Chains A and B, each alone.
Chain A
């Protein structure tokens, strides 16, 4: 069924009796050409592009819970392509371009809102670094603009630019950045994939891989064995747990990242503001809640909840630049589990096992990457060769000294 304004009016007149479920609930088949493990944003996007762009048949997505119940349902919904390094920026710009056409492409309202993102600057050195980053973005076809304090003040009049520790001296803006209705991304991709014949199988946990003579023949699941010519893993957050079943050790640790929403307020935040020096970023949802977050807690965790020191740290950062927000009450807070990789960048690659492919290591930047991650993983699964924008995301880059370390922190996952 195609969604349209006309369809909404027709259904309104017909008593809303014609709506059908957005995807089926099929029984698993004994064998598929391609099995994707993980029914989150990246897994569903992979299945969607496999079916739509790469014309693959007989595809299944296996999800241990319900689709969209992991990090795609618990992030802070920001999209942007403001990266510095050559290995990253073309990929994230490709992703942002896919976001821009996504709703028309998959015929689903994902509420994509290009309200702009602003990175604040406090020192001359930071201004130099952000100027360099802005130029790298422009060289890769993205948009970037350096703003003065006066320009920022005009857009965010209540921003405290006079903080004595971190006075605001300007900012790097990407006007095409913004926010998205995150759950709708999972649902839109699921619906688009399902309508093209992809089996989305929920409540189906992968418990092991069947590997013989260095080749992956399928997966053992809580609903029985499912054979597959190719298996793609897209379970960021739990990648180490899953890949350990194939006896792989990954270059990553799992960490918890917390996020917060305030009670609903009238519109105060026109865009996204990041205060990197104070470990704080914020936007406002369409329901009015301030959506904000900061750093990861910093220790290995699979608990999907964090601890209070980071709550305090994030709120202190927020109070420093937005003192007015101190009057707002916190409504909800939650935690999600991140694959924190050794250089802060992701991996989309084949493994050393034939027919077993991997997508993960997204750190806390996986949401914005969803469309390009799905597209590039689908490309890899189809052609056995990396997509041009994802060719740096290889497993062997650590061994070869080709790390993509945006922050220059080295092999310390909790610092990326």
Chain B
């Protein structure tokens, strides 16, 4: 697979390590009343879809940036690559 890095251009996926579903960006609120249940679901449960999947890849052997890659788990086709930083900020994180 080739990951089209937003800053560096096309890179071999072997330069990256894989974390998992990009929903991991949305960490639950530890102060929430239901925090124990929310953290259990956050840590352990996954949608694991067959089809398009937004996921976190880390450019470990490169510029060490975190990316959100939209990839099809049935074909390995990649349709979109964003900086995870931009995705998190667009959701109101790290203002």
Contacts and interface: CB of A to CB of B under 8 A. Distances in A.
Interface of A: 238, 240-241, 244, 249-254, 298-303, 307, 309, 342, 398-399, 411-414
Given A300-B73, A303-B74, A252 B48 contact: yes
Contact of B76 (A251, A253, A298, A307): A307
A302 B13 contact: no
Interface of B: 1, 12-14, 17-21, 40-41, 43-50, 53, 55, 71, 73-76
A300 B40 contact: no
Contacts of A240: 46-49
Contact of B48 (A250, A298, A303): A250
Given A249-B47, A252-B46, A307-B13, A413 B76 contact: no
Contacts of A251: 44-46
A303 B76 CA distance: 7
B43 A411 contact: yes
A399 B48 contact: no
B57 to A, nearest CB: 8
Given A251-B44, A398-B43, 20 more contacts: A238-B50, A240-B46, A241-B49, A241-B50, A244-B49, A249-B41, A249-B45, A249-B47, A251-B46, A253-B46, A253-B48, A254-B50, A298-B17, A299-B18, A300-B48, A303-B75, A399-B40, A411-B43, A411-B44, A412-B20
Contacts of B53: 300
B14 A309 contact: yes
A316 to B, nearest CB: 13
B73 A302 contact: yes
Contacts of A309: 12-14
22 contacts: A238-B50, A241-B50, A249-B46, A250-B48, A251-B46, A253-B48, A298-B17, A298-B18, A300-B20, A300-B21, A300-B55, A301-B76, A302-B50, A303-B74, A303-B75, A307-B76, A309-B12, A342-B43, A398-B44, A399-B44, A412-B20, A413-B20
Instruction: Provide the main secondary structure of the chain A interface.
Output: mixed
Nearest to B72: A303
B48 A342 contact: no
Nearest to A307: B1
A299 B48 contact: no
Given A300-B55, A307-B76, A253 B20 contact: yes
A94 to B, nearest CB: 27
B94 to A, nearest CB: 24
Nearest to A396: B40
Nearest to B37: A399
B17 to A, nearest CB: 8
A250 B50 contact: no
Contacts of B48: 240-241, 249-250, 252-254, 300
A412 B41 CA distance: 14
A263 B19 CA distance: 36
Nearest to A343: B44
